[in-house]
A = this chain, B = another copy of it.
Amino acid sequence: MNTLPKSWILLAIFFAAISKSYGQDALPSWNDGPAKQAIVEFVKATTTVGSPQFVAPEERIATFDQDGTLWVEHPMYSQVMFCLERVPAVVAEKPELKNIEPFKTVLSGDREAIAKLPKDELMKILAATLTGMSTEQFQAEVNAWIDTAEHPRWKKPYTALTYLPMQEVLEYLRANGFKTYIVTGGGQDFVRVYSEKVYGIPPEQVVGTAGGTKYQYDKNGNPILIKEPKLLLNDNNAGKPEGIHLMIGRRPVAAFGNSTGDQQMLEYTNAGDGARLSMILLHDDPVREYAYGPAEGLPKTRVGTFTQPLFDKANKDGWTVISIKNDWKRIFAFEE
């Protein structure tokens, strides 16, 4: 009879775990409204046994864009910041680059000039800072950067600038048997370094823009993989569903994005049978975060292009628009 208390403790833990996912409000940072309601109803419809829209656990795939959907993308993608900040180290190793463009401009620190660098010049920076080293060296470099880099506005690490309401959606979906994936236009190897720590998403569930690697041996004869400037997957636009097929092999039932680069992922997800959740995030809060896209008529930026046609398509196809201003009670975990 003395095992009875232990068994009761186990059961208590068991029921506590259940009530965590069902009993409380799983989305406390969301205001009541159509966006929150769409998420909760989708989860209920797809996970209730006997529901006509029930989705088998192994088919519960949810995909999330990262920049502008899971964390702040303004004024510049974090990965571009990483690349720019790596330039001094690259030039220290190859001093001949010092007086050559675009490295010269980046070293000058002139923010306006850097922001105006044409795309093919920017690609030279990316190639120089993202390739040519072993995958392990690269991981160490990203890790060191992510631990120290700060966002210029909030003076906080980028990893603190994830959207709390989206973290709640990730948790809520996982508690209901969904496998959550990041599907990002950013570098797959870059995001994989911190995805587990920041979002609870393991590296193998990160799909992103990916380059090739070359298997070879270091001077001690140990096998290493060297990152090559060879594009295998441009994980933007049509590349998102193509990347999802390559890396996951199933069509998602839920997808979240915030720009034209996510359009095909959202429509591919939405075109499947049964219950579907396609959500698109509108940055319409100039005070607490940023406002860009059709809601404010801001000038086009390099990041997060949410155009009027995309807005129209979202409404026409029955995607749900998330308004940061109206749907989010709280944006960041560090806020009161």
Contact = CB atoms under 8 A, between A and B. Distances in A.
Contact of A246 (B179, B213, B242, B250): B213
A8 interface: yes
Nearest to A135: B245
A329 to B, nearest CB: 32
Interface of A: 7-8, 10-11, 14, 58, 135, 179, 188-189, 192, 196, 202-204, 206, 210, 212-215, 222-223, 225, 232-233, 238, 241-242, 245-250, 264, 267-268, 271
Contact of A203 (B10, B222, B249): B249
7 contacts: A135-B245, A203-B248, A204-B248, A206-B249, A214-B238, A215-B241, A215-B242
A223 B11 contact: no
Number of copies of chain A assembled together = 2
Contact of A241 (B11, B188, B222, B225): B225
Contacts of A232: 232-233, 246
A271 B204 contact: no
A222 B58 contact: no
B213 A250 contact: no
Nearest to A179: B204
A213 B214 CA distance: 23
A163 to B, nearest CB: 24
Given A222-B271, A247-B204, A250-B203, A212 B242 contact: yes
Contacts of A203: 248-250
B10 A215 contact: no
A268 to B, nearest CB: 5
Contacts of A225: 241-242, 245
Contact of A268 (B188, B215, B248): B215
A264 B248 CA distance: 24
Given A7-B11, A212-B242, A232-B232, A58 B223 contact: no
Contacts of A206: 249
Contact of A264 (B11, B212, B215, B268): B215
Contacts of A189: 249
A10 B6 CA distance: 13
Nearest to A191: B249
Contacts of A8: 7
A328 to B, nearest CB: 30
A223 B245 CA distance: 13
Contacts of A222: 271
Contacts of A11: 7, 10
A271 to B, nearest CB: 5
A38 to B, nearest CB: 21
Contacts of A245: 135, 213, 225
